[in-house]
Structure 1
Amino acid sequence: MLSKISVTHLKASPSASTSGFSWHGNQRRFGYCARNSSQFNKPRFKIVGKSLGDRWKLNEIDANAVQEKLNSWLLKTQNFLNEVTSPLVRTSQTRKPVTRDAFETQDMEDIFMAEQTINNRTPNGVLSLAAIVSIEQFSRMNGLTGQKMQRIFKALVSESTYNDARNLVEYCCFRFLSRDNSDIHPSLKEPAFQRLIFITMLAWENPYQEDLANGSEKASFQSKLVREEAFVRVAPAISGVADRSTAHNLFKALAGDEQGISLSLWLTYVDELIKVHEGRKSYQTRQSPDLSEERILCIGSSRKRPVLKWENNMAWPGKVTLTDKAIYFEAVGISGQKDSIRLDLTKHGLRVEKAKVGPFGSDLFDSAVSISYGPKSEAWVLEFVDLGGEMRRDVWHAFISEIIALHKFIRDYGPEEVDESLSHVYGAHKGKERAMNSAINSIARLQALQFMRKLLDDPTKLVQFTYLQYAPYGDIVSQTLAVNYWGGPLISKFLEVDNPPAQGARASNEMIESSNHVFDIDGSVYLQKWKRSPCWASSASASFWKSTSTRQGLVLSKNLVVADAALVERATRTCKQKWQAAETTQATIDAATLKGIPSNIDLFKISLIARTLMGLI
């Protein structure tokens, strides 16, 4: 028997309120309801029989007015039924996202009904309410019902994969997300979609009911927390929300001392992230002609918190502008602003470091960054005055480091721009742009966290390319990113001209597999001649790519794999494990130093044993 999931949005009440799920008999209800409200049990309509002694007379009834009123009611009923048949989440195709203010200011109650078509009883248990809602809603966003999606999934995977409800949650969600290739998912602006993603993370973490003996299930999303494993799995699947390589650090920054991420915190993070991207659009509209070929990422200027450029023990206030290729400083003097000066961040050998500055060459203020080509070159020294404890210098250090690391990554792992082989792999010419967009999104997330005051002690752990430069196993993760950005289907023309197959051989299979090209999980090819970085010759690299031939899940795209991990995710897991082992090793060394090891030889032995267990040597 089919049941109904009703989603109710009530007008905001001054009394305490909660949003969540509740079951009433055979009906499941998801909504926003006010507790202890005096109006909650009042009837919807008031029927007045008499008023001030007046009585209705039949000849006094205006037939036209009655007909007009009935037509109005019928129109409202028709609109209501149209809403009933629509899914909970209005996708970006409608181009009319429902804002949070609309929910709070609407005069009438909007009720969205979604028919539950899937059987909530599975071989491994009864589906949780979050799993049912996620499966049904994403199925409708895919143009199908939950039952049809369930049947399709059963036909595509093995029985063991099908029996795990978590995989069905992934399939419904990932199939919808795989339809979009934008840098920022367009549905992310819609509050209903934001909530659905949170529900999906809860569903992934707990796809089954925890208490099967309890016939009714009540859940308030305000009190639910998303744990790290669910966040790291689902959040990076949404374009712009997180990177696979730094998602665990992003979770730590958001959760802080808590055990997970709440709904309100998740919504705040997404809202701040959207504000950052919208703010960048305003930068581009008023940019100068000199920046027409660059994208402005952030601007540092404030009367209360100026940016100072130190030269010859003198500090000059001004405005700093960071783009995807350079950093600009525009000094402000008595006569007004001066012409801006530019430092190219794409050149080889550039480095950025934290620095201390002060008058007369003193190191009084630890709030500056130094950008140079080496100890003998003239450095840019920029001080980011921070009076509010917002780690302003550390954040800007991470910003600049990420742009420098981005272009180093492109030089080390990407093909040369004049390489003719770019035309032999479909989509490879967009690889550089994909890498740049990834770094730009990393900086946007760091800005959002700064506004929320949710930062780690070292913000560079939150920006992908900088983090991978010093993280153990980071070079292998970088290899998977390169294959992800530049890899694509091999064009047959390349096979015929440069690598003619043997007579009678099938070029698309035998020749490719016998080559030393690298393949992504979806079959995309990364050419051997592009492997210019020395790290490709390491034993760790050979071992990793040898293990990638094993595929168990359902591949929807190179980034979305159901019941298995994409290559970037596989490498990131190992990177995270080695990073945790490195932290444990360092903690062991620090503890031994504090306790007083008898000699440096003993300390070296402890370090050697720890590093051996960690797998670094």
Structure 2
Amino acid sequence: MEVVPHGGGDGGGGDGSGNKMGTLLENFMRSQRSSLRSLFQRKKPGAVDDADSPRPLPFLSPVANSVVSRCSRILKVSTEELCHHFDEEIPESARQPSVNARNFVEFCSYKAMNVATKAPDYLGDKEFRRLTFDMMLAWESPDVASEVLAKEKNTGKEAEDGDGWSFFYTASTTMAVQVDNKKTAGIDAFARIAPACAAIADVITVKNLFYALTGSSCNQLHFLLYDKYLRSLDKVIKAVKSVSGPTFANLQLAEGEIILDIDGTVPLQPVLQHIGISAWPGRLTLTSYALYFESLGVGVYDKAVIYDLATDTKQVLKPELTGPLGARLFDRAVMYKSASVLEPVYMEFPELKGSSRRDYWLDICLEVLRAHRFARKNNFREIQRAEIIARAILGIFRYRAIREAFNIFPSNYKTILPYNLAESLPGGDVILETLASRLEFVKVDVPCHDDSGSPFTKQKKIPSPVSVLALYRLGFILLKEIKLDIDLVAVGDVCVAEINPLETALKNSILDTGRAEAAQASVDQVKVEGIDTNVAVMKELLFPVIALASRLQSLASWEDALKSIVFLGLVCYTIHRGWIQYVFPVILVSLALVMLWRRYFNRGKSLEAFRVTPPPNRNAVEQLLTLQDAISQVEALIQAANIVLLKIRALLFAVVPQATDRVALLLIIMAVVFAFMPPRYLILLAFVEVFTREMPLRKESSNRWLRRMREWWIRIPAAPVQLIKTDDKKNN
């Protein structure tokens, strides 16, 4: 700007110069504010471009051109230069006409988001939130053809009010949303854009986060939902940053340790610590390394007790029942047990109904524990361990934001905590293995400038610690000894026109989860109640086995002598020729052939329901009597087994010397027989002995021999048993 000085001919020259200088300074400050405000500013439809505005690109849709123009302002380059860098850095396969526009939108979005997130308070900037949402809209409609298809798809789906959308709440936990579909983003766009900012989403849990946000809006994300989530996330992060000072001096946090959440500060919602039969209220604090419990004294908190989550002390965290004086009444507690504590510790979270408060704390504590366990298992370096913990910290921040903004809790298989998700999904270990393989290449010194000074050099695909860097930009320092470059070009979990291996592993795990859930649903459908009914179902299922056993029993009882002789001859010939070893393989092959036959001829046919005739209905008293009778029978069987073991003990210790001599001689004879006789002849003799006991020629002698054996066994006394009562003084 050129300032032309005025002459001092008129009498008010001095005052006029001062006023003009003030005016110039005011105009300069206003122009600076306008330039900062226009960094994210969207171009209004129908506005006339000035000389400095980025030129629209003909192969992009209007919304994509709007996003690219704002990205060019952030990056301080023209749209033509962005196209030039896109052609240089992206391979030709990603620049085909069918995918060129979408990949170009990704390219501009990722680079602009990396620059925009360097601001310390970018989550609190509405223009940043609006830009990232428009990136999703541009990704869905990157060119004119896709925008036309989107308009045709959404024709006739207008909102009820004149503004195109409306929000109304039916309850504090249920929100019904009606939106204009032209202003909503889908799951694929959210999954490609949101993980570019590590604070907003994680590539492992991004789709579950989307479902949590859109559970009441038919899986369509409106800007107001997205904006509410980011504002809540910003509020959570600022709340965590504000937790410091003398109030928490008792904790004595280690360097780089971050407080993640605190509970028990409200008198009406205390946290009770149960050890044995004693309980005491206090304040519970979760950090990135441990749990701290401060007992409430007379107006002040006592010294904190530390429950370590970082070191390997065989920690166990699980939900548990608790209550006054050790009574197991309320399902509202978390049990902590490790080698460092003498007895389990129970943290109770009282609430009027439900256990959502306990479930939340169990989830975030397990996330920290599993993150450290994953880091120890793979023996990572310090920067890699910090990246693992940072990913868990950001996941907990997002979980808090969703909980506080929408009052919802994702289900077990739709958690937004990455390490909990990996533990919950079938094949989740593959996700962690894929993550570990990527973390092996994480480095801090990723080159961000080439020799010419251009910020758009071809990046080596070396992953950088994006989660650590995201926390650093938000004001959290995990590693003070490692210097992080604020201008580092983050190469994270999303790259232009590439599918992250984590996404592939997660997709396979989700497919397995769907099969597991479908199988579990079928299991739940066929469960029946009542002992008699379950026994009837089991008898029908085992009918072929029971029928075969009955047939063999009939042959062994020699009811039809001819059939029994034929069966005996066939089995003896099979054993003598050594074919007995092939019987079991033949049975397995036969079953396999039957299964393949059924698969081929029953293709596309549903399995018919298994029909069972239930027994007559019984009332509750009759069912209890049946259960008592079954328990008595089981008890009798256990008693008989104990008596057999005690008599064997008496024989081993020669309580009856004559019986012991006979048993010892019998064992020596059996040892000689097993040592010198081939196994097939032993099997043949055993089969003939058992099968011919009921034969008319042997029946009388067999019964006489069995009677002598029973009489001999009855005369063997049982070894004595002494029951010693435990000392209850310690428990009392």
TM-score by length of 2: 0.54
Q: How does 1:168-179 map to 2 (within 5 A)?
A: 168-178=104-114
Match of 2:303 among 319, 325, 339: 339
Query: SS state of the match for residue 184, structure 2?
Result: coil
Match of 1:231 among 190, 211, 229: 190
What residue number does 1:140 align with? 73
- Contact 1:232–1:244, Cα closer than 8 Å, also in 2: yes
- Matching residue's letter, 1:320: L
Cα 1:187–1:489 change in 2 (3 A) is closer
CA distance in 2, matches of 1:459, 1:580: 10
Instruction: Report the more deviating stretch, 482-491 or 444-453.
Output: 482-491
Deviation sequence 1:387-409 (CA, Å, 0-9, x none): 47682111000011011101110
Check if 1:410 corresponds to 2:390: no
- Contact 1:309–1:381, Cα closer than 8 Å, also in 2: yes
What residue number does 1:131 align with? 64
Match of 1:204 among 139, 146, 162: 139
Match of 1:195 among 130, 141, 144: 130
CA distance in 1, matches of 2:316, 2:292: 16
Query: SS state of the match for residue 284, structure 1?
Result: coil
**Structure 1, unpaired ranges of 5+:** 1-61, 92-110, 416-427, 492-519, 526-554, 610-617
Deviation sequence 1:524-580 (CA, Å, 0-9, x none): 79xxxxxxxxxxxxxxxxxxxxxxxxxxxxx98243310112333332333333333
What residue number does 1:291 align with? 253
Cα 1:357–1:403 change in 2 (3 A) is same
Cα 1:134–1:363 change in 2 (3 A) is same
- Matching residue's letter, 1:177: M
Query: SS state of the match for residue 284, structure 2?
Result: strand
Instruction: Report the more deviating stretch, 155-164 or 388-397.
Output: 155-164
Cα 1:200–1:234 change in 2 (3 A) is same
Instruction: Report the more deviating stretch, 558-567 or 167-176.
Output: 558-567
- Matching residue's letter, 1:275: K
Q: How does 1:466-545 map to 2 (within 5 A)?
A: 466-488=420-442, 522=461
- Contact 1:326–1:343, Cα closer than 8 Å, also in 2: yes
Cα 1:460–1:299 change in 2 (3 A) is farther
Check if 1:281 corresponds to 2:265: no
Cα 1:129–1:351 change in 2 (3 A) is farther
Say which structure is richer in strand. 1
Cα 1:180–1:79 change in 2 (3 A) is closer
- Contact 1:256–1:454, Cα closer than 8 Å, also in 2: no
Cα 1:332–1:162 change in 2 (3 A) is same
**Structure 2, unpaired ranges of 5+:** 1-11, 42-47, 166-178, 446-458, 465-488, 543-590, 597-732
| Shift in Å, 1:490 | 12
- Matching residue's letter, 1:241: I
- Contact 1:162–1:168, Cα closer than 8 Å, also in 2: no
Check if 1:447 corresponds to 2:404: no
What residue number does 2:57 align with? 119
Match of 1:581 among 515, 518, 521: 515
What residue number does 1:461 align with? 415
Deviation sequence 1:32-59 (CA, Å, 0-9, x none): xxxxxxxxxxxxxxxxxxxxxxxxxxxx
- Matching residue's letter, 1:157: P
Query: SS state of the match for residue 454, structure 1?
Result: coil
Structure having the higher Rg = 2
CA distance in 2, matches of 1:469, 1:589: 22
| Shift in Å, 1:77 | 6.8
- Matching residue's letter, 1:444: F
CA distance in 2, matches of 1:75, 1:342: 57
Match of 1:399 among 329, 349, 364: 364
Cα 1:112–1:254 change in 2 (3 A) is farther
Query: SS state of the match for residue 404, structure 2?
Result: helix
CA distance in 1, matches of 2:540, 2:95: 52
- Contact 2:384–2:442, Cα closer than 8 Å, also in 1: no
| Shift in Å, 1:231 | 1.3
| Shift in Å, 1:82 | 6.1
- Contact 2:260–2:393, Cα closer than 8 Å, also in 1: yes
Q: How does 1:211-250 map to 2 (within 5 A)?
A: 211=148, 223=180, 224-250=183-209
CA distance in 2, matches of 1:181, 1:263: 19
Cα 1:144–1:189 change in 2 (3 A) is same
- Matching residue's letter, 2:132: I
| Shift in Å, 1:351 | 1.7
Cα 1:246–1:311 change in 2 (3 A) is same
CA distance in 1, matches of 2:416, 2:149: 40
Query: SS state of the match for residue 359, structure 2?
Result: helix
- Matching residue's letter, 1:268: K
Cα 1:226–1:213 change in 2 (3 A) is closer
What residue number does 2:290 align with? 326
Q: How does 1:537-576 map to 2 (within 5 A)?
A: 557-576=491-510
Say which structure is richer in helix. 2
Deviation sequence 1:66-107 (CA, Å, 0-9, x none): 99999888877766766776674359xxxxxxxxxxxxxxxx
Cα 1:307–1:161 change in 2 (3 A) is same
| Shift in Å, 1:249 | 1.3
Match of 1:357 among 319, 322, 339: 322
Deviation sequence 1:325-345 (CA, Å, 0-9, x none): 111111124574322211111
Cα 1:144–1:204 change in 2 (3 A) is same
Cα 1:568–1:389 change in 2 (3 A) is same
Q: What value does the CA root-mean-square deviation take over the aligned residues?
A: 4.5
Cα 1:478–1:159 change in 2 (3 A) is closer
CA distance in 2, matches of 1:316, 1:490: 46
- Contact 1:522–1:558, Cα closer than 8 Å, also in 2: no
Match of 1:300 among 236, 259, 263: 263
TM-score by length of 1: 0.63
- Matching residue's letter, 1:385: P
| Shift in Å, 1:180 | 8.2
Check if 1:254 corresponds to 2:213: yes
Cα 1:342–1:589 change in 2 (3 A) is same
